A and B are shown apart, each in its own frame.
Chain A
Amino acid sequence: MGAIIVSGLVSGALYALVAAGLSLIWGSLGVFNFAHGVLLMTGAYAAWWISSPDGLGLGLGIGIVGALAFMVVLGLVVYLLLVRPWIGKANAELAVIMTTIAGSIFLQNLILEIFGGRYKTIDQVVTGTVAIGGTTIQAQNLLVIILAPVLLIAMWLFLTRNRTGLAIRAVAQNQDAAQLFGIGVERIYIATFSVSAVLAGVAGILLGGLFNISPDMGTDPLLRAFVVVVFGGLGSLPGTILGAYAIGMIEAFSSYYIGIYWTPVVLFVVLIGVLVVRPTGLMGRPT
Protein backbone atom coordinates (compact mmCIF):
# COMPACT_ATOMS: atom_id res chain seq x y z
CA MET A 1 0.00 0.00 0.00
CA GLY A 2 2.77 2.44 0.97
CA ALA A 3 4.64 1.66 -2.22
CA ILE A 4 1.54 2.34 -4.32
CA ILE A 5 1.02 5.71 -2.70
CA VAL A 6 4.69 6.63 -3.18
CA SER A 7 4.48 5.64 -6.82
CA GLY A 8 1.30 7.73 -7.21
CA LEU A 9 2.89 10.74 -5.52
CA VAL A 10 6.01 10.56 -7.69
CA SER A 11 4.01 10.32 -10.91
CA GLY A 12 1.65 13.04 -9.70
CA ALA A 13 4.55 15.36 -8.87
CA LEU A 14 6.18 14.87 -12.27
CA TYR A 15 2.88 15.26 -14.12
CA ALA A 16 2.19 18.43 -12.14
CA LEU A 17 5.53 19.96 -13.16
CA VAL A 18 5.02 19.10 -16.83
CA ALA A 19 1.34 20.03 -16.94
CA ALA A 20 1.80 23.31 -15.05
CA GLY A 21 4.08 24.58 -17.82
CA LEU A 22 1.65 23.46 -20.48
CA SER A 23 -1.25 25.06 -18.64
CA LEU A 24 0.63 28.33 -18.16
CA ILE A 25 1.16 28.68 -21.91
CA TRP A 26 -2.40 27.70 -22.71
CA GLY A 27 -3.64 30.23 -20.15
CA SER A 28 -1.68 33.18 -21.48
CA LEU A 29 -1.24 32.52 -25.20
CA GLY A 30 -4.22 30.27 -25.88
CA VAL A 31 -2.08 27.71 -27.72
CA PHE A 32 -0.91 24.22 -26.93
CA ASN A 33 2.81 23.67 -27.02
CA PHE A 34 3.31 20.18 -28.44
CA ALA A 35 7.07 20.69 -28.13
CA HIS A 36 6.74 20.64 -24.35
CA GLY A 37 7.69 16.94 -24.19
CA VAL A 38 10.89 17.42 -26.16
CA LEU A 39 11.73 20.42 -23.97
CA LEU A 40 11.66 18.00 -21.05
CA MET A 41 13.84 15.55 -22.98
CA THR A 42 16.28 18.29 -24.04
CA GLY A 43 16.60 19.44 -20.44
CA ALA A 44 17.59 15.92 -19.41
CA TYR A 45 20.13 15.65 -22.25
CA ALA A 46 21.60 19.05 -21.45
CA ALA A 47 22.08 18.07 -17.81
CA TRP A 48 23.59 14.74 -18.86
CA TRP A 49 25.97 16.27 -21.40
CA ILE A 50 27.25 18.93 -19.04
CA SER A 51 27.60 16.62 -16.05
CA SER A 52 28.61 13.22 -17.41
CA PRO A 53 32.24 12.17 -17.94
CA ASP A 54 31.11 11.16 -21.44
CA GLY A 55 30.21 14.78 -22.05
CA LEU A 56 31.82 17.83 -20.45
CA GLY A 57 32.19 16.05 -17.11
CA LEU A 58 31.53 19.14 -15.00
CA GLY A 59 29.49 17.35 -12.36
CA LEU A 60 25.80 17.24 -11.57
CA GLY A 61 25.54 20.64 -9.84
CA ILE A 62 26.84 22.58 -12.85
CA GLY A 63 24.90 20.21 -15.09
CA ILE A 64 21.59 21.15 -13.46
CA VAL A 65 22.26 24.89 -13.37
CA GLY A 66 23.59 24.86 -16.93
CA ALA A 67 20.64 22.80 -18.19
CA LEU A 68 18.10 25.15 -16.62
CA ALA A 69 19.85 28.19 -18.06
CA PHE A 70 19.78 26.45 -21.42
CA MET A 71 16.04 25.85 -20.98
CA VAL A 72 15.43 29.59 -20.60
CA VAL A 73 17.11 30.15 -23.96
CA LEU A 74 15.37 27.18 -25.57
CA GLY A 75 11.98 28.45 -24.36
CA LEU A 76 12.75 31.76 -26.04
CA VAL A 77 13.80 30.07 -29.29
CA VAL A 78 10.69 27.85 -29.39
CA TYR A 79 8.51 30.90 -28.85
CA LEU A 80 10.24 33.06 -31.46
CA LEU A 81 10.46 30.40 -34.17
CA LEU A 82 7.40 28.23 -33.66
CA VAL A 83 4.77 30.36 -31.95
CA ARG A 84 5.26 34.08 -32.44
CA PRO A 85 4.80 34.19 -36.23
CA TRP A 86 1.24 32.85 -35.85
CA ILE A 87 0.00 34.67 -32.78
CA GLY A 88 -2.90 36.97 -33.57
CA LYS A 89 -3.45 35.41 -37.00
CA ALA A 90 -6.42 33.31 -38.03
CA ASN A 91 -6.33 29.70 -36.77
CA ALA A 92 -3.28 30.38 -34.61
CA GLU A 93 -4.28 27.49 -32.37
CA LEU A 94 -4.11 24.96 -35.22
CA ALA A 95 -1.02 26.47 -36.80
CA VAL A 96 0.87 26.30 -33.52
CA ILE A 97 -0.12 22.65 -33.01
CA MET A 98 1.52 21.89 -36.35
CA THR A 99 4.60 24.07 -35.88
CA THR A 100 5.30 22.74 -32.40
CA ILE A 101 4.82 19.13 -33.53
CA ALA A 102 7.21 19.82 -36.40
CA GLY A 103 9.66 21.45 -34.02
CA SER A 104 9.49 18.53 -31.63
CA ILE A 105 10.15 16.00 -34.41
CA PHE A 106 13.12 18.09 -35.50
CA LEU A 107 14.58 18.43 -32.00
CA GLN A 108 14.03 14.79 -31.17
CA ASN A 109 15.88 13.68 -34.29
CA LEU A 110 18.58 16.26 -33.78
CA ILE A 111 19.25 14.81 -30.33
CA LEU A 112 19.20 11.30 -31.82
CA GLU A 113 21.70 12.41 -34.47
CA ILE A 114 24.03 14.06 -31.98
CA PHE A 115 23.89 11.65 -29.05
CA GLY A 116 22.72 8.40 -30.65
CA GLY A 117 19.91 6.10 -29.60
CA ARG A 118 21.57 4.41 -26.64
CA TYR A 119 20.03 5.08 -23.27
CA LYS A 120 21.95 7.38 -21.00
CA THR A 121 21.68 7.89 -17.27
CA ILE A 122 21.99 11.03 -15.22
CA ASP A 123 23.31 10.68 -11.69
CA GLN A 124 20.62 10.88 -9.08
CA VAL A 125 20.58 14.17 -7.25
CA VAL A 126 20.35 12.23 -4.01
CA THR A 127 21.21 8.55 -3.68
CA GLY A 128 20.30 5.75 -1.31
CA THR A 129 17.01 4.90 0.31
CA VAL A 130 14.94 6.32 3.11
CA ALA A 131 12.60 4.33 5.35
CA ILE A 132 9.34 6.06 6.16
CA GLY A 133 6.53 4.38 8.05
CA GLY A 134 7.58 0.86 7.14
CA THR A 135 8.08 1.68 3.45
CA THR A 136 11.50 2.02 1.90
CA ILE A 137 11.72 4.84 -0.61
CA GLN A 138 14.50 5.71 -3.02
CA ALA A 139 15.85 9.06 -1.90
CA GLN A 140 15.40 10.43 -5.44
CA ASN A 141 11.69 9.56 -5.26
CA LEU A 142 11.41 11.42 -1.99
CA LEU A 143 13.16 14.39 -3.58
CA VAL A 144 10.63 14.42 -6.42
CA ILE A 145 7.74 14.21 -3.95
CA ILE A 146 9.07 17.18 -1.97
CA LEU A 147 10.62 19.30 -4.72
CA ALA A 148 7.61 19.44 -7.05
CA PRO A 149 5.25 21.07 -4.52
CA VAL A 150 8.03 23.49 -3.50
CA LEU A 151 8.52 24.54 -7.12
CA LEU A 152 4.78 24.81 -7.71
CA ILE A 153 4.38 26.97 -4.61
CA ALA A 154 7.29 29.11 -5.79
CA MET A 155 5.54 29.45 -9.13
CA TRP A 156 2.28 30.40 -7.40
CA LEU A 157 4.10 33.06 -5.34
CA PHE A 158 5.72 34.33 -8.53
CA LEU A 159 2.32 34.63 -10.20
CA THR A 160 0.64 36.34 -7.25
CA ARG A 161 3.42 38.53 -5.82
CA ASN A 162 5.97 39.29 -8.50
CA ARG A 163 5.30 42.10 -10.98
CA THR A 164 6.17 39.95 -13.99
CA GLY A 165 3.97 37.18 -12.58
CA LEU A 166 1.07 39.60 -12.16
CA ALA A 167 1.61 40.82 -15.70
CA ILE A 168 1.52 37.21 -16.96
CA ARG A 169 -1.89 36.78 -15.33
CA ALA A 170 -3.08 40.14 -16.62
CA VAL A 171 -2.11 39.21 -20.18
CA ALA A 172 -3.83 35.84 -19.75
CA GLN A 173 -7.06 37.53 -18.73
CA ASN A 174 -7.21 40.34 -21.23
CA GLN A 175 -4.40 40.91 -23.66
CA ASP A 176 -5.73 44.14 -25.13
CA ALA A 177 -6.33 45.75 -21.77
CA ALA A 178 -2.92 44.57 -20.55
CA GLN A 179 -1.24 46.35 -23.45
CA LEU A 180 -3.08 49.50 -22.53
CA PHE A 181 -1.71 49.17 -19.02
CA GLY A 182 1.69 49.57 -20.61
CA ILE A 183 2.52 45.89 -20.46
CA GLY A 184 4.66 44.73 -23.37
CA VAL A 185 2.87 41.51 -24.28
CA GLU A 186 5.82 40.20 -26.25
CA ARG A 187 8.11 40.20 -23.23
CA ILE A 188 5.46 38.56 -21.12
CA TYR A 189 5.04 35.76 -23.66
CA ILE A 190 8.78 35.20 -23.64
CA ALA A 191 8.79 35.09 -19.82
CA THR A 192 5.90 32.62 -19.90
CA PHE A 193 7.69 30.33 -22.32
CA SER A 194 10.91 30.48 -20.33
CA VAL A 195 9.20 29.64 -17.03
CA SER A 196 7.35 26.81 -18.74
CA ALA A 197 10.54 25.46 -20.31
CA VAL A 198 12.40 25.57 -16.99
CA LEU A 199 9.63 23.54 -15.34
CA ALA A 200 9.88 21.00 -18.18
CA GLY A 201 13.64 20.90 -17.74
CA VAL A 202 13.35 20.22 -14.00
CA ALA A 203 10.92 17.38 -14.75
CA GLY A 204 13.34 16.01 -17.34
CA ILE A 205 16.30 16.05 -14.95
CA LEU A 206 14.28 14.37 -12.18
CA LEU A 207 12.84 11.81 -14.58
CA GLY A 208 16.32 11.17 -15.96
CA GLY A 209 17.50 10.26 -12.47
CA LEU A 210 14.68 7.75 -12.03
CA PHE A 211 14.71 6.14 -15.46
CA ASN A 212 16.98 6.21 -18.48
CA ILE A 213 17.08 9.18 -20.80
CA SER A 214 16.34 8.69 -24.46
CA PRO A 215 15.19 10.93 -27.32
CA ASP A 216 11.57 9.81 -26.93
CA MET A 217 11.40 10.13 -23.14
CA GLY A 218 9.18 13.21 -23.41
CA THR A 219 6.41 11.62 -25.42
CA ASP A 220 4.65 9.80 -22.63
CA PRO A 221 4.83 12.65 -20.07
CA LEU A 222 3.44 15.04 -22.71
CA LEU A 223 0.47 12.76 -23.37
CA ARG A 224 -0.18 12.43 -19.64
CA ALA A 225 0.15 16.19 -19.22
CA PHE A 226 -2.55 16.73 -21.85
CA VAL A 227 -4.84 14.38 -20.00
CA VAL A 228 -4.04 16.22 -16.77
CA VAL A 229 -4.72 19.66 -18.24
CA VAL A 230 -8.06 18.60 -19.70
CA PHE A 231 -8.97 16.65 -16.58
CA GLY A 232 -8.10 19.50 -14.20
CA GLY A 233 -9.62 22.25 -16.31
CA LEU A 234 -7.97 24.20 -19.12
CA GLY A 235 -6.05 27.21 -17.91
CA SER A 236 -6.70 26.55 -14.22
CA LEU A 237 -3.43 26.08 -12.36
CA PRO A 238 -4.97 24.66 -9.14
CA GLY A 239 -7.07 22.34 -11.29
CA THR A 240 -3.98 21.24 -13.19
CA ILE A 241 -2.09 20.39 -10.01
CA LEU A 242 -5.07 18.60 -8.48
CA GLY A 243 -5.58 16.72 -11.75
CA ALA A 244 -1.90 15.72 -11.88
CA TYR A 245 -1.97 14.08 -8.46
CA ALA A 246 -5.38 12.50 -9.08
CA ILE A 247 -4.09 10.92 -12.28
CA GLY A 248 -0.84 9.82 -10.65
CA MET A 249 -2.86 8.05 -7.95
CA ILE A 250 -5.36 6.52 -10.36
CA GLU A 251 -2.47 5.12 -12.41
CA ALA A 252 -0.66 3.75 -9.39
CA PHE A 253 -3.71 2.04 -7.94
CA SER A 254 -5.04 0.65 -11.19
CA SER A 255 -1.59 -0.66 -12.16
CA TYR A 256 -1.44 -2.57 -8.92
CA TYR A 257 -5.00 -3.81 -8.59
CA ILE A 258 -6.14 -4.15 -12.19
CA GLY A 259 -2.91 -4.48 -14.16
CA ILE A 260 -0.60 -2.18 -16.03
CA TYR A 261 -2.14 -2.84 -19.44
CA TRP A 262 -5.52 -1.67 -18.23
CA THR A 263 -4.21 1.55 -16.70
CA PRO A 264 -4.73 3.73 -19.80
CA VAL A 265 -8.25 2.32 -20.12
CA VAL A 266 -9.07 3.18 -16.51
CA LEU A 267 -7.50 6.60 -16.97
CA PHE A 268 -9.55 7.50 -20.01
CA VAL A 269 -12.77 6.09 -18.55
CA VAL A 270 -12.28 8.36 -15.55
CA LEU A 271 -11.42 11.29 -17.85
CA ILE A 272 -14.53 10.74 -19.98
CA GLY A 273 -16.63 10.37 -16.84
CA VAL A 274 -15.37 13.70 -15.46
CA LEU A 275 -15.90 15.47 -18.77
CA VAL A 276 -19.47 14.17 -19.03
CA VAL A 277 -20.29 15.59 -15.61
CA ARG A 278 -18.07 18.68 -15.86
CA PRO A 279 -17.25 19.54 -19.48
CA THR A 280 -14.74 22.18 -18.36
CA GLY A 281 -12.77 19.75 -16.20
CA LEU A 282 -12.47 19.64 -12.44
CA MET A 283 -11.79 23.34 -11.91
CA GLY A 284 -12.03 24.81 -15.39
CA ARG A 285 -13.94 27.99 -15.99
CA PRO A 286 -16.57 28.00 -18.70
CA THR A 287 -15.52 30.10 -21.68
Chain B
Amino acid sequence: MNILIEDVSVTYQPKTPFQYNALKNITTEFKSGQFYGIVGQTGSGKSTLVQLLNGLILPTTGIVKIDDFELKRKTKYKMIHEVRKHIGIVFQFPEHQLFEETVLKDVMFGPMNMGVSEEKAKTRALHYLKELHVDPALYEKSPFDLSGGQMRKVALAGILAMEPKVLILDEPTAGLDPSSHRETMDLFKRLRKELNLTIILVTHDMNDVFEYTDEVRILEAGHIVESGLTEEILTNQAVLERYSLNLPDVVRLSHDLEKKGHVIDPIPKSIDEFIVEWRLRDA
Protein backbone atom coordinates (compact mmCIF):
# COMPACT_ATOMS: atom_id res chain seq x y z
CA MET B 1 0.00 0.00 0.00
CA ASN B 2 1.35 3.36 -1.00
CA ILE B 3 0.61 6.26 1.27
CA LEU B 4 0.73 9.78 -0.03
CA ILE B 5 0.37 12.78 2.24
CA GLU B 6 -0.38 15.93 0.29
CA ASP B 7 -0.02 19.36 1.83
CA VAL B 8 -1.60 18.32 5.12
CA SER B 9 -2.02 20.61 8.12
CA VAL B 10 -3.57 19.68 11.44
CA THR B 11 -4.83 22.26 13.92
CA TYR B 12 -6.04 21.21 17.34
CA GLN B 13 -8.85 23.14 19.02
CA PRO B 14 -9.06 25.89 16.42
CA LYS B 15 -10.40 29.29 17.51
CA THR B 16 -9.82 28.74 21.22
CA PRO B 17 -7.03 29.94 23.52
CA PHE B 18 -5.66 26.37 23.22
CA GLN B 19 -5.30 26.50 19.42
CA TYR B 20 -2.28 24.55 18.31
CA ASN B 21 -0.87 23.74 14.87
CA ALA B 22 0.52 20.24 15.18
CA LEU B 23 1.43 19.77 11.52
CA LYS B 24 2.08 22.48 8.96
CA ASN B 25 1.73 21.77 5.24
CA ILE B 26 3.35 18.38 5.21
CA THR B 27 3.93 16.48 1.97
CA THR B 28 5.55 13.08 1.99
CA GLU B 29 5.23 9.52 0.75
CA PHE B 30 5.48 6.05 2.27
CA LYS B 31 6.02 3.33 -0.32
CA SER B 32 4.81 -0.23 -0.10
CA GLY B 33 7.13 -2.74 1.58
CA GLN B 34 9.59 -0.20 2.95
CA PHE B 35 10.69 0.27 6.56
CA TYR B 36 10.45 3.90 7.66
CA GLY B 37 11.66 5.66 10.75
CA ILE B 38 10.11 8.85 12.08
CA VAL B 39 12.20 10.79 14.55
CA GLY B 40 11.99 14.17 16.22
CA GLN B 41 11.74 15.86 19.58
CA THR B 42 8.74 15.39 21.83
CA GLY B 43 5.95 17.63 20.52
CA SER B 44 7.32 17.78 16.99
CA GLY B 45 4.14 16.22 15.58
CA LYS B 46 5.23 12.59 15.23
CA SER B 47 2.19 11.02 16.82
CA THR B 48 -0.17 13.37 15.00
CA LEU B 49 1.41 12.31 11.71
CA VAL B 50 0.98 8.66 12.58
CA GLN B 51 -2.64 9.08 13.63
CA LEU B 52 -3.42 10.74 10.31
CA LEU B 53 -2.61 7.51 8.54
CA ASN B 54 -5.58 5.56 9.86
CA GLY B 55 -8.07 8.35 10.30
CA LEU B 56 -7.84 8.79 14.07
CA ILE B 57 -7.13 12.39 13.22
CA LEU B 58 -8.39 13.88 9.99
CA PRO B 59 -6.43 16.60 8.20
CA THR B 60 -7.62 20.17 8.80
CA THR B 61 -6.48 20.87 5.24
CA GLY B 62 -4.92 18.62 2.61
CA ILE B 63 -5.39 14.97 1.68
CA VAL B 64 -4.01 11.65 2.85
CA LYS B 65 -4.14 9.12 0.02
CA ILE B 66 -3.84 5.46 0.89
CA ASP B 67 -4.00 3.52 -2.40
CA ASP B 68 -7.52 4.38 -3.56
CA PHE B 69 -8.73 5.71 -0.23
CA GLU B 70 -8.72 9.41 0.44
CA LEU B 71 -8.84 10.88 3.92
CA LYS B 72 -9.95 14.50 4.09
CA ARG B 73 -11.44 16.84 6.65
CA LYS B 74 -14.95 15.48 6.25
CA THR B 75 -14.38 11.85 5.30
CA LYS B 76 -17.24 9.55 6.35
CA TYR B 77 -16.77 7.10 9.16
CA LYS B 78 -17.47 4.07 6.94
CA MET B 79 -14.50 4.90 4.76
CA ILE B 80 -12.26 5.39 7.78
CA HIS B 81 -13.31 1.97 9.07
CA GLU B 82 -12.25 0.45 5.74
CA VAL B 83 -8.86 2.16 5.95
CA ARG B 84 -8.35 0.77 9.46
CA LYS B 85 -8.59 -2.77 8.12
CA HIS B 86 -5.35 -2.19 6.28
CA ILE B 87 -3.45 0.00 8.66
CA GLY B 88 -2.59 -1.28 12.12
CA ILE B 89 -1.24 0.98 14.83
CA VAL B 90 0.62 -0.32 17.84
CA PHE B 91 0.48 2.51 20.35
CA GLN B 92 2.93 3.20 23.11
CA PHE B 93 2.32 0.74 25.95
CA PRO B 94 -0.21 -1.28 23.93
CA GLU B 95 -0.79 -3.54 26.93
CA HIS B 96 -3.09 -0.80 28.30
CA GLN B 97 -5.68 -1.66 25.67
CA LEU B 98 -6.28 -5.25 26.85
CA PHE B 99 -9.73 -5.84 28.27
CA GLU B 100 -11.16 -9.24 27.36
CA GLU B 101 -11.70 -12.21 29.68
CA THR B 102 -9.05 -14.33 28.04
CA VAL B 103 -5.90 -13.74 26.05
CA LEU B 104 -7.30 -15.55 23.04
CA LYS B 105 -10.52 -13.50 23.00
CA ASP B 106 -8.55 -10.30 23.23
CA VAL B 107 -6.45 -11.17 20.20
CA MET B 108 -9.62 -12.09 18.30
CA PHE B 109 -11.25 -8.72 19.09
CA GLY B 110 -9.60 -6.78 16.25
CA PRO B 111 -10.19 -9.24 13.40
CA MET B 112 -13.80 -9.80 14.46
CA ASN B 113 -14.47 -6.05 14.44
CA MET B 114 -13.20 -6.07 10.88
CA GLY B 115 -15.77 -8.63 9.84
CA VAL B 116 -13.65 -11.78 10.01
CA SER B 117 -15.60 -14.88 11.07
CA GLU B 118 -15.10 -16.22 14.60
CA GLU B 119 -13.46 -19.40 13.33
CA LYS B 120 -11.03 -17.55 11.12
CA ALA B 121 -10.28 -15.02 13.81
CA LYS B 122 -9.41 -17.86 16.15
CA THR B 123 -7.05 -19.44 13.63
CA ARG B 124 -5.33 -16.12 13.11
CA ALA B 125 -5.12 -15.45 16.84
CA LEU B 126 -3.54 -18.84 17.49
CA HIS B 127 -1.13 -18.30 14.62
CA TYR B 128 0.14 -14.91 15.78
CA LEU B 129 0.27 -15.84 19.45
CA LYS B 130 2.49 -18.75 18.43
CA GLU B 131 4.52 -16.45 16.20
CA LEU B 132 5.20 -14.21 19.19
CA HIS B 133 6.15 -17.14 21.40
CA VAL B 134 3.32 -16.70 23.87
CA ASP B 135 3.05 -19.84 26.00
CA PRO B 136 -0.12 -21.80 24.96
CA ALA B 137 -0.86 -22.37 28.66
CA LEU B 138 -1.72 -18.66 28.86
CA TYR B 139 -4.27 -18.55 26.04
CA GLU B 140 -7.24 -19.15 28.31
CA LYS B 141 -5.97 -16.94 31.14
CA SER B 142 -7.03 -13.38 31.87
CA PRO B 143 -4.67 -10.92 30.18
CA PHE B 144 -4.44 -9.05 33.49
CA ASP B 145 -2.70 -12.04 35.10
CA LEU B 146 0.25 -11.87 32.70
CA SER B 147 3.59 -10.17 33.21
CA GLY B 148 4.26 -6.83 31.51
CA GLY B 149 6.31 -8.36 28.70
CA GLN B 150 3.74 -11.04 27.96
CA MET B 151 0.94 -8.45 27.95
CA ARG B 152 2.86 -6.46 25.38
CA LYS B 153 3.19 -9.52 23.15
CA VAL B 154 -0.52 -10.32 23.44
CA ALA B 155 -1.40 -6.74 22.51
CA LEU B 156 0.93 -6.96 19.52
CA ALA B 157 -0.64 -10.22 18.44
CA GLY B 158 -3.99 -8.44 18.66
CA ILE B 159 -2.88 -5.96 16.01
CA LEU B 160 -1.07 -8.49 13.82
CA ALA B 161 -4.13 -10.77 13.79
CA MET B 162 -5.93 -8.03 11.89
CA GLU B 163 -3.36 -8.70 9.15
CA PRO B 164 -2.78 -5.07 8.22
CA LYS B 165 -0.69 -4.21 5.19
CA VAL B 166 0.88 -1.25 6.93
CA LEU B 167 2.08 -1.54 10.50
CA ILE B 168 2.69 1.61 12.47
CA LEU B 169 4.74 1.28 15.64
CA ASP B 170 4.80 4.08 18.21
CA GLU B 171 7.73 3.45 20.57
CA PRO B 172 7.06 -0.29 20.52
CA THR B 173 9.94 -1.17 22.82
CA ALA B 174 9.48 1.50 25.53
CA GLY B 175 9.91 -0.10 28.92
CA LEU B 176 11.13 -3.48 27.64
CA ASP B 177 14.31 -5.13 28.87
CA PRO B 178 17.21 -5.31 26.39
CA SER B 179 16.63 -8.89 25.29
CA SER B 180 12.88 -8.38 24.75
CA HIS B 181 13.74 -5.19 22.93
CA ARG B 182 15.95 -7.05 20.47
CA GLU B 183 13.48 -9.91 20.13
CA THR B 184 10.61 -7.53 19.34
CA MET B 185 12.55 -5.51 16.80
CA ASP B 186 13.84 -8.64 15.07
CA LEU B 187 10.29 -9.91 14.95
CA PHE B 188 9.17 -6.80 13.06
CA LYS B 189 12.05 -7.27 10.65
CA ARG B 190 11.03 -10.87 10.02
CA LEU B 191 7.31 -10.08 9.70
CA ARG B 192 8.06 -7.41 7.19
CA LYS B 193 9.79 -9.95 4.96
CA GLU B 194 7.26 -12.73 5.49
CA LEU B 195 4.13 -10.62 5.05
CA ASN B 196 5.61 -7.91 2.83
CA LEU B 197 4.52 -5.26 5.34
CA THR B 198 5.18 -1.57 5.19
CA ILE B 199 6.45 -0.56 8.61
CA ILE B 200 6.56 2.93 10.04
CA LEU B 201 8.51 3.16 13.27
CA VAL B 202 8.22 6.17 15.55
CA THR B 203 10.98 6.21 18.12
CA HIS B 204 13.63 8.11 20.03
CA ASP B 205 16.04 5.20 19.71
CA MET B 206 18.46 6.20 16.96
CA ASN B 207 20.19 2.82 17.11
CA ASP B 208 16.97 1.05 16.13
CA VAL B 209 16.31 3.52 13.35
CA PHE B 210 19.79 3.00 11.95
CA GLU B 211 19.69 -0.76 12.23
CA TYR B 212 16.21 -1.49 10.91
CA THR B 213 14.87 1.27 8.68
CA ASP B 214 15.42 2.05 5.00
CA GLU B 215 14.35 5.68 5.11
CA VAL B 216 13.85 8.37 7.75
CA ARG B 217 11.75 11.46 8.18
CA ILE B 218 12.86 14.02 10.74
CA LEU B 219 10.12 16.20 12.17
CA GLU B 220 10.52 19.51 13.90
CA ALA B 221 7.76 21.84 15.09
CA GLY B 222 5.22 20.37 12.68
CA HIS B 223 7.44 20.36 9.60
CA ILE B 224 9.29 17.51 7.89
CA VAL B 225 12.77 18.95 7.91
CA GLU B 226 14.72 15.98 6.57
CA SER B 227 13.63 13.10 4.43
CA GLY B 228 15.81 10.47 2.78
CA LEU B 229 17.84 7.32 3.08
CA THR B 230 18.68 6.25 6.61
CA GLU B 231 22.36 5.62 5.95
CA GLU B 232 22.74 9.11 4.52
CA ILE B 233 20.89 11.11 7.14
CA LEU B 234 21.84 9.21 10.28
CA THR B 235 25.54 9.35 9.48
CA ASN B 236 25.47 13.11 9.05
CA GLN B 237 26.40 14.56 12.42
CA ALA B 238 25.77 18.17 11.42
CA VAL B 239 22.19 17.46 10.36
CA LEU B 240 21.35 15.45 13.47
CA GLU B 241 22.84 18.06 15.77
CA ARG B 242 20.75 20.75 14.14
CA TYR B 243 17.64 18.93 15.36
CA SER B 244 19.15 17.91 18.74
CA LEU B 245 19.26 14.24 17.82
CA ASN B 246 22.04 11.82 18.68
CA LEU B 247 24.20 9.87 16.29
CA PRO B 248 23.56 6.12 16.45
CA ASP B 249 26.21 4.46 18.68
CA VAL B 250 27.77 2.47 15.87
CA VAL B 251 28.10 5.58 13.70
CA ARG B 252 29.72 7.55 16.49
CA LEU B 253 32.17 4.73 17.12
CA SER B 254 33.02 4.43 13.44
CA HIS B 255 33.55 8.17 13.14
CA ASP B 256 35.83 8.19 16.16
CA LEU B 257 37.87 5.33 14.76
CA GLU B 258 38.05 7.03 11.40
CA LYS B 259 39.68 10.02 13.06
CA LYS B 260 42.33 7.62 14.36
CA GLY B 261 42.94 6.27 10.88
CA HIS B 262 40.74 3.16 10.83
CA VAL B 263 38.34 3.67 7.94
CA ILE B 264 35.22 1.54 8.20
CA ASP B 265 33.12 1.65 5.07
CA PRO B 266 30.25 0.99 4.88
CA ILE B 267 29.35 1.56 8.51
CA PRO B 268 27.83 -1.63 9.98
CA LYS B 269 24.13 -1.47 10.93
CA SER B 270 24.59 -2.34 14.59
CA ILE B 271 27.22 -2.73 17.27
CA ASP B 272 26.94 -6.52 16.93
CA GLU B 273 27.65 -6.38 13.24
CA PHE B 274 30.48 -4.00 13.93
CA ILE B 275 32.11 -6.46 16.31
CA VAL B 276 31.86 -9.26 13.78
CA GLU B 277 33.43 -7.15 11.07
CA TRP B 278 36.15 -5.81 13.34
CA ARG B 279 37.16 -9.35 14.29
CA LEU B 280 37.26 -10.42 10.63
CA ARG B 281 39.41 -7.45 9.86
CA ASP B 282 41.86 -8.27 12.63
CA ALA B 283 42.05 -11.86 11.46
Same complex origin of A and B: no
Listed in ascending order, the chain A residues whose CB lies under 8 Å from chain B are none
Listed in ascending order, the chain B residues whose CB lies under 8 Å from chain A are none
